[in-house]
Amino acid sequence: MSQINQSSIWQTLNQHKKDIELISLREMFNSNPNRFDQFHIQFNDLLFDYSKHRISKETINLLVRLAKEADVEGWRDRMFKGEKINSTEHRSVLHTALRNQNDTPVVSDNENVMPKVDKVLKKMRRFSEEVRSGQWKGFTGKAITNIVNIGIGGSDLGPAMVCQALKTYGSKTIRPYFVSNVDGADLSQAIEKCDPETTLFIIASKTFTTPETMTNAFAARDWFLKTAKDSQYIKKHFVALSTNQHLVSRFGIDVENMFEFWDWVGGRYSLWSAIGLPIAIYIGMDSFEELLKGGFEMDEHFKTTPIEQNIPIMMGLLGVWYINFFNYTTHAILAYDQGLSKLAPYLQQADMESNGKFINRNGERIDFHTGPIIWGEVGTNGQHAFYQLLHQGTEIVPADFIVPIKSHYSLGKEGNEHHKILLSNFIAQTQSLMMGKTYDEARTEIEKQGYEGEDIESFIPQKTFEGNRPSSSILFQKLTPKTLGQIIVMYEHKIFTQGIIWNINSFDQWGVEYGKQIAKQVLPNLSENKLTDSFDSSTNGLINYIKKN
């Protein structure tokens, strides 16, 4: 089967890119005062402004044709219907069912999964309310004050990001910790702030076999038992979020205290499942359900809106436009909200683990760029660090600016001084990245500053900005659970759209599995007394150097 870059629409887009690159964004805005009106989409309280992209109406028409050609809508419907679109693992991809608010059944393997989803949600409500109210007691009869989530990758990044983002909704009496790294520092630094009598450990692992998580879980259990002495108390201080009942009970966790999810929930798409338990405990089940509701509303938008008005599909198409036609292969996530400080690492996993692949669904080597390198930092911090490269670097980095109109915090003059400064920085950055500063503008500015003669001539090139650097602006009212749910799902479906266009299975992760496999081969070599010669000379050299030292 021929690949998408062999299609005639791809060739047309290639040709179109050659035409459009001759026109700068500044020129596009000068010649069309309605650009903002023409190129933005509103959905609920979200505004997606994509006017600062190197596109015309024709670009959009062609990209929509590309989406149709790749059958994004058909694949989308197959996913929601529970077809096994995760072909290498023979699994349905139904994280959407976890936030489904319709009464309609969702079927995988001839079974409506909704009753079991609802059952786990009810169990999460019961348990989180008991912990939050202090009804759930530790082994000495005290209420829980710390929860320590032990998990990694998909069993860590989502809940950690959401708890950070929704801190204003968080419990004032229960502190959440997220331990993921097998580096002993991570667990040690968390437990040194905890008291075994009032700490609840949440062992989050889909497989319950991931070495980092299990090593930390056993160490946490030893730490707890040092004080509690009796293993019958484990059930009051350890719960599990997993698909593997057998290993959970072997660990000593009461299966009553296991919150289940299923193989059709991919790790990086699992925060909506039982993996969200730390979120539910920290912000309360009502707020967790608001998060689900926001996610569901974005699902509905994705499912029912024509492509031109469909935010995630348009985001996906714009990404393809830059990655494949402009060769801009990285993408920055720039949230102007301190709460979203973990959004970039979260999306790094979601996107790069899903689409960082060179083999397509048919097992063929792909000969064009696929998943972008995702990176970012919150504004304004990033401005004082890497924005230099965004403005004048030789790499061009399309960016998403993600911004709440209102803050949860009122500080300074009229209670919004901080937020106004934040907003003005966001606006200034997107505007200047797009407009740049011409040679003449730089000269005028320098002259005004009092420079003279040769100084001016040598200084002008340094103060010139080419501009023409694309960005999207994603605005919303305030960072609420519901809005956050919409934002996360918007990115999930953007990733989906790109995977379909590139004909990639976005739902497996053989690279991650490979990492787990090779670490297992190395570990015994570190414990053996003799030097190793099992690997290549560099690997042997490193292992032996570590052993000698």
Q: Give the residue numbers marked as catalytic.
A: 353, 384, 516
Cβ atoms of residues 485 and 294 within 8 Å: yes
> Minimal distance in Å, beta carbon 203 to ligand G6Q?
9
Cβ atoms of residues 242 and 254 within 8 Å: no
Pairing mode of beta strands 46-49, 40-43: antiparallel
Q: Is the peptide bond before 380 cis (omega within 30 degrees of 0)?
A: yes
> What distance in Å separates the CA atoms of residue 463 and residue 460, rounded to the nearest whole number?
5
Task: Between 149 and 509, name the residue whose CB sits nearer to ligand G6Q.
Answer: 509
Task: Between 60 and 214, name the residue whose CB sits nearer to ligand G6Q.
Answer: 214
> Minimal distance in Å, beta carbon 351 to ligand G6Q?
12
Pairing mode of beta strands 330-335, 399-404: parallel
Q: Beta strands of 385-486 (E only): which ranges?
A: 399-404, 471-476
* Identity of residue 537: S
> What distance in Å separates the CA atoms of residue 135 and residue 132, rounded to the nearest whole number?
8
44 contact partners, CB below 8 Å, separation of at least 6? 297, 301, 483, 486
| Chain position whose Cβ is nearest to ligand G6Q | 153
Q: Which residues pair with 49 in a beta bridge?
A: 40, 473
> What distance in Å separates the CA atoms of residue 240 and residue 219, rounded to the nearest whole number?
15
Closest CA to 272 of 95, 80, 480, 490: 95
Cβ atoms of residues 297 and 62 within 8 Å: no
Backbone angles phi, psi at 149, to 5 degrees: -85, 120
> Minimal distance in Å, beta carbon 517 to ligand G6Q?
12
Cα angle at 351 between 7 and 258, to 5 degrees?
A: 130
Task: Between 153 and 278, name the residue whose CB sits nearer to ligand G6Q.
Answer: 153
Task: Between 268 and 469, name the residue whose CB sits nearer to ligand G6Q.
Answer: 268
> Minimal distance in Å, beta carbon 243 to ligand G6Q?
8
> Minimal distance in Å, beta carbon 84 to ligand G6Q?
17
Task: Between 82 and 153, name the residue whose CB sits nearer to ligand G6Q.
Answer: 153
Backbone angles phi, psi at 336, to 5 degrees: -95, 65
Cβ atoms of residues 29 and 48 within 8 Å: no
Task: Between 420 and 520, name the residue whose CB sits nearer to ligand G6Q.
Answer: 520
Cβ atoms of residues 401 and 325 within 8 Å: no
Task: Between 144 and 265, name the residue whose CB sits nearer to ligand G6Q.
Answer: 265
> Minimal distance in Å, beta carbon 267 to ligand G6Q?
3
> Minimal distance in Å, beta carbon 162 to ligand G6Q?
15
Binding site for ligand G6Q (CB under 6 A): 152-155, 205-207, 210, 213, 266-268, 353, 509, 512
